[in-house]
Amino acid sequence: MEYITIGNVKIEKTASLAPMASVADKAMRTMCKKYGAALLTGEMASAKGLCYSDRKTAALLTVTDYERPMAIQLFGSEPEFMAKAAVIAAQYKPDFIDINCGCPVPKVAGNGAGSALMNDPVLLGHIVEAVVKATDIPVTVKIRKGWDEKNVNAVEVARVAQESGASAVAVHGRTKNQMYSGKADLEIIAEVKQALSIAVIGNGDVDSGESCKRMYDYTGCDLVMVGRAACGRPWIFSEIKHYLETGETLPPPSPDEQLEIMNEHIRLLCADKGEYIGMKEARKHTAWYLKGRPGAAKLRNMCGSLATLEDFDNMLTLIRNTAQQDI
């Protein structure tokens, strides 16, 4: 297996987990790590929230030794707040501090952060420089293709990030306006890779070992990042690693094994956040795990009403009994 180095951190050249808000929490990261994720990134944390001692924001920064290598991701639009937040984040000893310059959701981009920074490369450069100067932890930057198809500037922005001291740039091959629709543009990732001397991480539409290899081969990127395809399917990282090593497709876990994986995930979620909050968040995760199973519509309804671990256990029993009857 090949490895890359970002800063002074050695990373297996397989696939990393993307920083998905309200998804890539400790339980999700733990499951993805178990199945071979090469690098983890936590949920994005507000720089101002950290500076104003927001407990909810600070809770996003915990890094366990099991999760390493792991990045903490910050978002904001003011260099001074981003620098102060980086100092606070550094106390949690992440392997990297990642700057979010790609989030397309209105509550982030609409306030000048996330992908809005793609429209102001000078400000983006000031933010990267401020964070780099504030801590000795390697700084990475996540960007998009551009704001829209008329404003595709990933190469320019990536160069600014590199010149400002970033150790790596991750590129999602979609514009802000695309959100998550359409296809990711591999060509723009290849162009960024050709333009930079630092590591480039490719992101977008990787949902199998084959598509991961295609990303590597087409773009020449140093590492691949997986986002939505890991939802309800943390074993994708094992599939990717196996394909890269052998060229063969690894069969997914059996339906019964998938239920056990889901069971482990939901219990980790409740152990970390408490049953009340954990089960609220379990609703989306269980829907992802159960997608495509017989009786999917009924199962979705059950997922949407989960309130206790007892509800979850009852759903598991129903699924298992139904499967037995179908044999």
From residue 176, how far is each of 102, 193, 315 by CA, in Å? 7, 20, 38
Annotated binding residue at 34?
Answer: no
3-state SS string for 43-75: CCEEHHHHHCCCHHHHHHHCCCHHHCCEEEEEE
pLDDT in tens, 69-114: 999 999 999 999 999 999 999 999 999 999 999 999 999 999 999 9
Share of the chain above pLDDT 90, in %: 91
Q: Which of 88, 115, 76, 99 is closest to 19 using CA atoms?
A: 99
Length of the chain: 327
| pLDDT at residue number 327 | 43
pLDDT (0 to 100) of residue 324: 61
Query: pLDDT of 42-69, one tens digit each?
Result: 999 999 999 987 777 777 899 999 999 9
Query: What is the topology classification, in CATH, of domain 255-326?
Result: 1.10.1200
Instruction: Confirm whether residue 172 is marked as ligand binding.
Output: yes
What confidence score (pLDDT) does residue 42 get? 95
Which helix H or strand E contains 199, and what residues bound it? strand 199-203
Residue 73 annotated as binding site? yes
**Of 160, 176, 54, 156, which Cα lies nearest the Cα of 114?**
176
- Residue 156 pLDDT exceeds 90: yes
Looking at residue 85, its pLDDT comes to 96
Q: How confident is the prediction for the chain on average, in pLDDT?
A: 95
Give whole-number Cα distances, 21 to 43, 112, 161, 253, 316, in Å: 5, 17, 23, 26, 27
Tens of pLDDT, residues 164-214: 999 999 999 999 999 999 999 999 999 999 999 999 999 999 999 999 999
Whether 326 has a pLDDT exceeding 60, the answer reads no
Residue of 289, 280, 290 whose CA lies nearest to 311: 280
What residues act catalytically?
103
Q: Which CATH architecture has domain 3-246?
A: Alpha-Beta Barrel (3.20)
Q: Does residue 237 contact residue 226 with C-beta atoms inside 8 Å?
A: yes
CA pair distance 166, 219, nearest whole angstrom: 20
Is the pLDDT assigned to residue 325 strictly greater than 50? Answer: yes
Q: What is the pLDDT of residue 298?
A: 87
pLDDT, residue 322, reads 80
- Is 19 annotated in a binding site? The answer is yes
Distance (Å, whole) CA 80 – CA 269: 34
Beta bridge partners of 15: 224
* All structural domains of the chain with their residue ranges: 3-246, 255-326
Output the pTM of the full model. Answer: 0.95
Query: Residue type at 306?
Result: L
Token readout for 216 is: 């590597």
pLDDT at 300 over 90: no
Determine contact, residues 190/210, Cβ cutoff 8 Å.
Answer: no
